[in-house]
């Protein structure tokens, strides 16, 4: 039997994703995608026009990176498939952590952006 | 034999020198352009015992108005010069100022002093008014004027005013040896004048000898000030200290110039009061006059010749060269404070001769003396090269025998380039000097490999020589196979000017690109909102409870604080403060809200 081709693997992945993934996780995935695109656009801008002022670029880029990481953390904790690992942390607790971390992140970013 | 006496380190004078008196006399030589300058010039010249300027009386007579200040200055000048100044209604004005209710001490002083100087009657009961005015104004200046006013009243000195002198004197600070009041020169000078005039009238000194010495040190330290007013008050202070018969401080200082040479030279000392006037009836004597290391004596100990403030002493015959430390003490009649014992440095300078010299040029390889000279026939002439060695031996002597001096150099000067090379001649234990130059090594090391004619000089210098002795002893021609070129003198022309280039600001991208990317960055936000809507996100589960609303409002408030901070409307301190309050509220409401959502979820399960 021939191994499945890339196209077949890809379409299988997309099909499984759209059917098996809970709605909440899809929302978070959309959010993560948005964050990533924002980060990429900032990076392209920096490549085009140079790094001055460097602190502004750094704070903007790292803001997207950190937000992405926090979003990933939220997704992991909220995923029902990981319930065994995170049974002490409820969904609401994960969300509260997410909000608090974002509060601190944005304070630091706004201070550093200049 | 000729010798000279050089006097060094005149003791720190606590008095005016003759040069100071002359300089001050020049400062106060007019022209007189105001009543105040007439007053200051007249009084200063009187203190310095100079003749008064012409035309001062006429100037005062024609320029005096009716004010208390004018009458005060005019009366002072009149009293000092004997002008017989008279003004219509002067007495009336003065009496009016004095008898006014609550008259200040300044007005009282000026009024009383003016009446006294114009030979008009002064009421003795005014001492009560003086004491009353002193109670209102406690400053040093007020006390000074009170003392002067009280001294101008007929009758006994009021005891309550006199008794304050010592207390006020203790308010002065001592910095080093100088004692003065915080307020400065004018206050200190007027205080001294007042206190000493009043003490003189009382017949008893109110200031101790130590205090008087401290004040004197301060007064003389001001003798080099620039302004005429400062110098005037310096003279006032020094005059007060010098012209009383209770306790006049005195000091010893050297006079008669700093360099005396030739036979008949002697050492002169004066004993003076703070104004620099010699003290009649005083004596001075030499305590010691020796070189500290060897004990050789310069003067005989005992009383100095002369008297009445000017003393001199002749040296013992044939003094040895050196720096002598001379201790002098003085004694004074009653009414004067004996001067501090003084230590002066006196230097004996003697000429020297060079004798017993021997200059040899020796061949290094076979030790053959190629040239020998004793320098008696003038400068030697010789040729040297890399195989030569120059040796020079000599003694230095004065009339007492061989001496060792501080600086004994042999200088080689290249006649063409004027470059110099110095060698130091060393003395052995018998004080015989010698120099040994081996050209095999010295040619490169000391002479830089430059060949040519060199003139050789012997240089002698010392503190006990009147001036350095430079003798040309030889002319040498240095032959070298390869002579180094002399380095050119450094370029003396101006270097090119450096204009500072300020830091250029960084290049920023054009506005269009920045705006485009700002838009691009905001675009995904809209996209994600659309995706969420498509995925079925909605606000149907929004709880309008208190905690729900509170939590969302709290989050918006936090965002609002951040925006304010970013816009620079509040600083980090204020941000932290607001954040603490709002985040506490948000946390509490959020906790409630999420707990209720969790409870609802559990119920549903």
Query: What pLDDT, in 10s, does the model give residues B299-337?
Result: 888 898 888 889 888 888 877 888 888 899 999 998 888
Pick among A19, A21, A26 to test the B interface (most B CBs inside 10 A)? A26
Task: Give the per-residue pLDDT at B13.
Answer: 58
User: What are the residue ranges in chain B where pLDDT is below 50?
Assistant: 1-3, 5-11, 257-260
Compute the nearest-CA separation of B499 from chain A (Å). Answer: 27
With a CB cutoff of 8 Å and minimum separation 6, the contacts of B352 are B396, B397, B398, B403, B405, B460, B465, B469
Task: Give the per-residue pLDDT at B525.
Answer: 92
Report the residue from A23, A52, A92 with minimal CB separation from B597: A92
For chain B, the C-alpha Rg in angstroms (whole number) is 45
**Sign of the dihedral defined by the CA atoms of residues B190, B196, B200, B202, in that order:** positive
B89: part of which helix (H) or strand (E)? none
Helices (H), A22-113: 23-49, 54-78, 91-113
What confidence tens digit (pLDDT) does each residue in A37-66 have?
999 999 999 998 888 789 999 999 999 999
Pick among B504, B505, B519, B562 to test the A interface (most A CBs inside 10 A)? B562
d(CA B582, CA B568): 19
Print burial letters for B449-483: b (CB count within 10 Å at least 16), e (below 16).
ebbbebbbbbebebebbeeebeeebbebebebeee
d(CA A82, CA A90): 12
Cβ contact A38–B597 (<8 Å): no
**Distances, alpha carbon B325 to alpha carbons B287, B295, B341, in Å:** 10, 10, 13
Indicate the SS3 state at residue B154: coil
- Report the C-alpha dihedral over residues B46, B52, B58, B61, rounded to 10 degrees: 0
User: What is the DSSP-derived secondary structure letter of residue A16?
Assistant: H
* Residues present in chain A in total: 114
d(CA A56, CA A68): 18
Task: Give the per-residue pLDDT at A42.
Answer: 92
Partnered with residue B420 across adjacent β-strands are B413
Nearest-CA neighbor of B478 among B369, B379, B375, B386? Answer: B386
Cβ contact A92–B506 (<8 Å): no
B329: part of which helix (H) or strand (E)? strand B322-331
Inform me whether the C-beta atom of residue B585 falls under 8 Å from chain A C-beta atoms. Answer: no
Please give the angle made by the CA atoms of B35, B41 and B46, to the nearest 5 degrees.
Answer: 130
Residues of B in contact with A34 (CB under 8 A): 524-525, 527-528, 531
User: What is the DSSP-derived secondary structure letter of residue B278?
Assistant: B
Q: What values do phi and psi take at B120, rounded to 5?
A: -100, 160
Residues of A in contact with B507 (CB under 8 A): 50, 52
8 A C-beta contact, residue B353 and residue B397 = yes
Q: Which residue has the tokens 């008087």?
A: B212
Inform me whether the C-beta atom of residue B175 falls under 8 Å from chain A C-beta atoms. Answer: no
- Take residue B460 and report the two structure tokens written for it: 């002698």
Task: Give the per-residue pLDDT at B264.
Answer: 60
Strand pairing category for B469-478 and B380-384? parallel
Task: Give the per-residue pLDDT at B490.
Answer: 66
Q: Which residues of A touch B (CB under 8 A)?
A: 23, 26-27, 30-31, 33-34, 37-38, 41-42, 44-45, 48-50, 52-53, 90-93, 95-96, 99, 103, 106-107, 110-111, 113
Report the residue from A41, A106, A110 with minimal CB separation from B517: A41
**N-to-C CA span, chain B:** 131
**Sign of the dihedral defined by the CA atoms of residues A19, A20, A24, A30, in that order:** negative
The size of the A-B interface in CB pairs under 8 A is: 71
8 A C-beta contact, residue B288 and residue B267 = no
Compute the nearest-CA separation of B498 from chain A (Å). Answer: 29
What confidence tens digit (pLDDT) does each residue in B383-416 have?
888 888 999 999 999 888 888 899 999 999 988 8
Cβ contact A34–B524 (<8 Å): yes
Task: Give the per-residue pLDDT at B48.
Answer: 92
């Amino acid at each position: 039997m021939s191994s499945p081709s890339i196209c077949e693997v890809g379409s299988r992945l997309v099909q499984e994703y759209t059917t098996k993934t809970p709605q909440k996780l899809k929302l978070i995935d959309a959010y993560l995608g948005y964050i990533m695109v924002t980060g990429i656009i900032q990076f392209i801008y920096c490549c085009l026009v140079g790094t001055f002022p460097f602190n502004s670029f750094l704070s903007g880029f790292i803001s997207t990176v950190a937000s992405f990481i926090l979003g990933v953390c939220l997704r992991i904790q909220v995923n029902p498939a990981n319930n065994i690992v995170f049974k002490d942390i409820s969904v609401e607790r994960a969300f509260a952590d997410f909000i608090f971390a974002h509060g601190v992140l944005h304070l630091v970013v706004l201070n550093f952006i200049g | 034999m000729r010798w000279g006496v050089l006097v060094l380190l005149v003791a720190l004078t606590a008095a005016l020198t003759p040069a100071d008196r002359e300089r001050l006399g020049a400062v106060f030589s007019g022209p007189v352009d105001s009543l105040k300058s007439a007053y200051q010039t007249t009084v200063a010249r009187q203190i310095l015992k100079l003749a008064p300027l012409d035309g001062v009386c006429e100037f005062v007579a024609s320029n005096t108005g009716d004010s208390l200040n004018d009458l005060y200055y005019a009366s002072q000048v009149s009293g000092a010069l004997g002008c017989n100044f008279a003004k219509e209604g002067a007495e009336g004005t003065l009496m009016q100022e004095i008898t006014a209710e609550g008259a200040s001490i300044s007005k009282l002083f000026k009024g009383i002093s003016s009446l006294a100087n114009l030979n008009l009657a002064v009421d003795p009961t005014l001492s009560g008014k003086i004491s009353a005015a002193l109670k209102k104004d406690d400053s040093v200046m007020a006390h000074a004027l009170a003392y002067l006013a009280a001294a101008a009243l007929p009758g006994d000195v009021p005891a309550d005013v006199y008794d304050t002198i010592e207390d006020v004197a203790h308010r002065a600070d001592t910095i080093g040896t100088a004692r003065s009041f915080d307020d400065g020169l004018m206050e200190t000078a007027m205080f001294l004048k007042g206190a000493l005039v009043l003490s003189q009238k009382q017949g008893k000194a109110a200031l101790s000898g130590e205090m008087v010495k401290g004040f004197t040190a301060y007064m003389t330290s001001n003798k080099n000030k620039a302004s005429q007013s400062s110098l005037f008050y310096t003279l006032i202070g020094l005059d007060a200290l010098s012209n009383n018969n209770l306790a006049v401080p005195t000091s010893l200082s050297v006079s008669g110039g700093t360099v005396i040479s030739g036979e008949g030279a002697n050492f002169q000392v004066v004993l003076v009061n703070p104004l620099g006037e010699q003290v009649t009836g005083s004596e001075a004597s030499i305590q010691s006059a020796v070189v500290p290391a060897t004990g050789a004596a310069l003067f005989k100990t005992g009383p100095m010749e002369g008297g009445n403030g000017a003393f001199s002493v002749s040296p013992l015959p044939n003094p040895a060269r050196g720096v002598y430390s001379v201790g002098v003490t003085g004694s004074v009649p009653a009414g004067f404070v004996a001067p501090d014992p003084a230590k002066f440095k006196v230097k004996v300078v003697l000429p020297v001769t060079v004798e017993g010299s021997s200059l040899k040029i020796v061949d290094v390889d076979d030790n053959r003396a190629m040239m020998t000279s004793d320098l008696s026939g003038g400068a030697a002439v010789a040729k040297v090269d890399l195989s030569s060695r120059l040796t020079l031996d000599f003694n230095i002597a004065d009339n007492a025998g061989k001496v060792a001096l501080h600086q004994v150099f042999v200088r080689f000067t290249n006649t063409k380039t004027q470059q110099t090379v110095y060698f130091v001649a060393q003395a052995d234990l018998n004080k015989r000097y010698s120099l040994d130059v081996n050209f095999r090594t010295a040619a490169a090391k000391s002479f830089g490999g430059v060949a040519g004619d060199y003139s050789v000089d012997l240089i002698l210098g010392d503190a006990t020589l009147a001036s350095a002795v430079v003798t040309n002893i030889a002319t040498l021609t240095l032959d070298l196979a390869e002579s180094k070129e002399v380095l050119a003198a450094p370029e003396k022309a101006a270097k090119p000017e450096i204009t500072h280039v300020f830091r250029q600001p960084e290049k920023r991208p054009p506005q269009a690109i920045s705006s485009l990317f700002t838009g691009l960055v905001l675009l995904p936000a809209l996209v994600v909102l659309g995706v969420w809507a498509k995925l079925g996100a909605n606000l149907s589960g929004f709880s309008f409870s208190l905690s729900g609303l509170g939590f969302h409002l709290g989050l918006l408030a936090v965002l609002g604080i951040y925006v304010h901070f970013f816009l620079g409307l509040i600083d980090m301190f204020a941000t932290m403060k607001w954040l603490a309050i709002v985040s506490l509220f948000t946390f509490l409401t959020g906790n409630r809200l999420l707990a209720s959502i969790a409870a609802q979820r559990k119920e549903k399960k």
